[in-house]
Amino acid sequence: MKTEVLRLSPDHPEEDAIARAAEVLRRGGLVAFPTETVYGLGASALNATACGRIFEAKGRPANNPLIVHIASAEDALQVAAAWPEPAARLAERFWPGPLTLVLPRRDIVPDVVTAGGPTVALRVPAHPVALALLHAAGVPVAAPSANRSSRLSPTRAEHVLRDLEGHIDLVLDGGPTPGGLESTVLDLSRTPPCLLRPGLVTPAQIESVLGPIARAGPIPGERQGALPSPGMLTRHYAPRTPLECTEEGWQRVEELVWAGLRVGWLTRGQDRNLPGAMVIVMPQDPKDYAAQLYAVLHQLDDSGVDRIVVDLPPETEERLSVRARLRSASAK
Ligand code: TXA
Ligand code: MG
């Protein structure tokens, strides 16, 4: 299959490109598109065959359900069986935006989307291209991140093509995605609501609306107790290059370089100079750090280093999402 690429303006997406992509979706095709978090790989959420093709293209295990994207909260009841008051309050505050809500599903949603489970995950993305596409398609759109399963999520169209060229119909290239990290996933089908995947909306922001919420299991990679969202089970969000998290930072980098490896080092500390080491000084601000993380990991993958060493940022709730991704990425 030839993958078509259409460039469009991220702020004022051209109507002909959007119309073309909507047509591909309605006919059962796969379209990658930018959201405010990462690029998604979309198919009509009500078309089981099309959604099945998402799993094939990504090499995604069938037990990992998909997020359904809708144009506005008013469309929630097309796929969810209930729209409880906490959902309405969260949607009012955070949609369009990087918060995914897990609710009881309607039967109209194919099993392939929900992995046969009783719930469906929903969000309204805050990106002009994604919203224009959802409006034009007129159907809910199931979309996981547009990468091969377990790999780094794409924050640019080039990343999508590297993993999926020849396996999908169309990529809408709207430039780099601003958020850089996936949405927060919150399960509203349980009481109290439970954080399944930390993301760009923090637990404190959710609790300011709902009151106390539960947090699923340990941070992935720590391997004790119940596991959170199916997508966080194993090695995930991982660059091709082996990645390790450390507290000892520079010492570890020196050790690996002396052993003959080329090393990429992500630190929030000072720049250093050592032949064989590629030092990347990351932003101090948690949001800026999150926005850059995948882009930097993609860059290190391209540079051909043998190992990536990351100084794990401090354990604060604002950094929960980044720490969870890094731990998954370093899992064996
Ligand atoms: O920011 C995002 O969320 C991006 C953009 C494209 O929207 N999408 C994304 O999708 O990250 P994906 O498939 O890579 O991750 C979806 C996560 C997985 O961890 C999956 O297990 C979980 O959401 N999930 C989906 N449906 C669920 C459900 N019904 N119950 C529990 N977890 C669910
Ligand atoms: Mg993903």
For the cut 50, the answer to whether the pLDDT of residue 291 exceeds it is yes
Nearest to 122 by CA among 175, 160, 69: 69
DSSP assignment of 230-267 equals: GGGSSS-SB-SS-EEEESSTHHHHHHHHHTT--EEEEE
CA distance 42 to 239: 22
| Residue 216 confidence (pLDDT) | 87
Is the Cβ atom of 40 under 6 angstroms away from ligand 1?
A: yes
How many structural domains comprise the chain? 2
Computed from CA positions of residues 32, 33, 39, 40, in that sequence, does the dihedral angle turn out positive or negative? Answer: negative
Q: Tell me what the pLDDT averaged over the chain comes to.
A: 94
Query: Which single residue is written with the structure tokens 């080491």?
Result: 277
195, 215, 235 — which closes off a domain?
215
Q: Which ligand is nearest to the CA of 237?
A: 2
Q: Are 18 and 8 in contact (CB under 8 A)?
A: yes
Task: Give the number of other CB atoms < 10 A from CB of residue 82.
Answer: 13
| Residue 229 confidence (pLDDT) | 58
First to last CA, the chain: 33
Looking at the structure, tell me whether residues 30 and 111 fall in a common domain: yes
| Residue 221 confidence (pLDDT) | 42
Give bridge partners of residue 271 from the DSSP assignment. Answer: none
Q: Which ligand is nearest to the CA of 121?
A: 1
Give bridge partners of residue 221 from the DSSP assignment. Answer: none
Looking at the structure, tell me whether residues 65 and 137 fall in a common domain: yes
In a domain, 170, yes or no: yes
Is the Cβ atom of 97 under 6 angstroms away from ligand 1?
A: no
Looking at the structure, tell me whether residues 211 and 267 fall in a common domain: no
CA distance 45 to 281: 41
Claim: this prediction has a pTM higher than 0.85: yes
* pLDDT tens per residue, range 204-241: 999 999 999 999 865 444 443 334 455 555 688 899 99
Looking at the structure, tell me whether residues 209 and 260 fall in a common domain: no
| Residue 234 confidence (pLDDT) | 66
| Residue 223 confidence (pLDDT) | 40
Is the Cβ atom of 201 under 6 angstroms away from ligand 1?
A: no
Domain harbouring 260, CATH code: 3.40.50.11030
Is the Cβ atom of 38 under 6 angstroms away from ligand 1?
A: yes
- Whole-number Å distance, alpha carbon 144 to ligand 1 midpoint, is 6
For the cut 80, the answer to whether the pLDDT of residue 277 exceeds it is yes
In a domain, 238, yes or no: no
The atom of ligand 1 lying closest to the CA of 98 is 1
- Whole-number Å distance, alpha carbon 71 to ligand 2 midpoint, is 21
In a domain, 106, yes or no: yes
Looking at the structure, tell me whether residues 175 and 93 fall in a common domain: yes
- Whole-number Å distance, alpha carbon 67 to ligand 1 midpoint, is 5
In a domain, 222, yes or no: no
- Whole-number Å distance, alpha carbon 273 to ligand 2 midpoint, is 34
Looking at the structure, tell me whether residues 79 and 11 fall in a common domain: yes
206, 208, 209, 211 alpha-carbon torsion, rounded to 10°? 90
Looking at the structure, tell me whether residues 248 and 196 fall in a common domain: no
Probe ligand 1: pick from 35, 37, 100, max atoms within 8 Å of CB?
Answer: 100
215, 234, 263 — which closes off a domain?
215
In a domain, 226, yes or no: no
In a domain, 221, yes or no: no
Q: Which ligand is nearest to the CA of 67?
A: 1
Looking at the structure, tell me whether residues 194 and 275 fall in a common domain: no
Amino acid sitting at position 3? T
What sections of the chain are H helices per DSSP? Answer: 15-26, 48-58, 85-94, 111-114, 128-137, 157-164, 203-210, 250-258, 286-303, 320-330
Query: Which single residue is written with the structure tokens 């050592």?
Result: 274
Domain harbouring 47, CATH code: 3.90.870.10
In a domain, 88, yes or no: yes
The atom of ligand 1 lying closest to the CA of 125 is 7
Amino acid sitting at position 101? L
Is the Cβ atom of 185 under 6 angstroms away from ligand 1?
A: yes
- Whole-number Å distance, alpha carbon 161 to ligand 1 midpoint, is 21
Q: Which ligand is nearest to the CA of 63?
A: 1
Looking at the structure, tell me whether residues 36 and 170 fall in a common domain: yes
In terms of residue numbers, what domain contains 268? 243-330
Looking at the structure, tell me whether residues 55 and 202 fall in a common domain: yes
- Whole-number Å distance, alpha carbon 60 to ligand 1 midpoint, is 12
Q: Please report, rounded to a whole number, the percentage of residues in the chain having pLDDT higher than 90.
A: 91
Looking at the structure, tell me whether residues 152 and 282 fall in a common domain: no
How far lies 253's CA from each of 248, 301, 307, in Å? 9, 17, 9
Looking at the structure, tell me whether residues 247 and 173 fall in a common domain: no
* Protein residues placing their CB within 5 Å of the ion ligand 2: 145
Q: Whose CA is nearest to atom 20 of ligand 1?
A: 231
Is the Cβ atom of 276 under 6 angstroms away from ligand 1?
A: no
* Angle value at C-alpha 319, between 315 and 323, nearest 5 degrees: 75
| Residue 235 confidence (pLDDT) | 80
- Look at 15-29, 49-63, 127-141, 236-250 and tell me which has the smallest mean pLDDT: 236-250
In a domain, 235, yes or no: no
Residue 143, CB-side half-sphere exposure with 13 Å CA sphere? 33
* pLDDT tens per residue, range 111-167: 999 999 999 999 999 999 999 999 999 999 999 999 999 899 999 999 999 999 999
